[in-house]
Structure 1
């Protein structure tokens, strides 16, 4: 009796947070939901992280038409967009979220509907529901939680884990 080959392939390995972080940072453009002019807020610190790495970034803030970032020789104003659907190219944009969990839930739904490419949920911006939703809607392109590989005690954070992920994105 002839033998037949099985057409089933072994299952692809489960994506890790490291691969999701590298995929996130391989995006052509970025946005920060919760961007702020206030240097004490994480939305400000996160936005300036992108600027300091010369990455194209758009601030999302529905309450202000712009945010101001100190720079030399004078502060620079950056026009905001009010929501993920207002991004110029959402399908090419990875969205960092640094908002309270109730707001994050709404931002995630808008981001999904707009076709945002990837999301990174910063520590404190989500609960179990928001993280599960992000992982379901952006398989392999959602970063957040306490998965293996983070160097921070607060979970996956762009400010802590972003450098390593940027070095690894060339492997993508």
Structure 2
């Protein structure tokens, strides 16, 4: 098992990151907050949503395989029902780092998809948010990380 902080640092060392579930209507969508913050912090980020062609003025991709040049990591921000398909796409594309976003609700974590990814050699972070860790973090997310660890909503190891 790897400490969450170490897995998060490795994930956020990725240069090209896909974020699934980014919406054309960003209000209330955690994926949009993650996408926007990673862009703001200088990451090369690719929105993934099969129902959108553009997010703002940036191209949006229907799946991981459609991203030109591929990515190093993916944040899953869709419902848990879509996590398995995304993890299967990650395995097929050679992506080795997956983060299933979760805050106080079920988020995007699907235990079967977590197991599948790990069985196929992926590092799967099953909870929390990339914005809880530097260099993407802010004070509010760091506070939330500590609170959610106490609640068992953020893993201590992956």
For normalisation by structure 1, the TM-score amounts to 0.69
Instruction: Find the counterpart in structure 1 of residue 134 from structure 2.
Output: 163
Please list every run of 5 or more consecutive structure 1 residues that lacks an aligned counterpart in the other structure. Answer: 1-13, 69-76, 146-155, 167-172
CA deviation vs aligned residue, 1:34-74 (integer Å, no higher than 9, x gap): 11122211121111011111111011111111111xxxxxx
Counterparts of 1:48 and 1:83 in 2: how far apart (Å)? 19
Q: RMSD of the alignment, in Å?
A: 1.9
Largest Rg, 1 or 2? 1
Please list every run of 5 or more consecutive structure 2 residues that lacks an aligned counterpart in the other structure. Answer: 138-158
- Measure how far apart 1:88 and its partner are: 2.1
CA deviation vs aligned residue, 1:114-143 (integer Å, no higher than 9, x gap): 11131111011023222222333344x321
CA deviation vs aligned residue, 1:1-32 (integer Å, no higher than 9, x gap): xxxxxxxxxxxxx3222221111111121110
Instruction: Find the counterpart in structure 2 of residue 72 from structure 1.
Output: none
- Measure how far apart 1:162 and its partner are: 2.5
Match of 1:142 among 124, 127, 133: 124
Instruction: Find the counterpart in structure 2 of residue 88 from structure 1.
Output: 68
Counterparts of 1:165 and 1:60 in 2: how far apart (Å)? 20
Aligned residues: 132
- Which segment drifts farther, 124-133 or 106-115? 124-133
Counterparts of 2:16 and 2:135 in 1: how far apart (Å)? 19
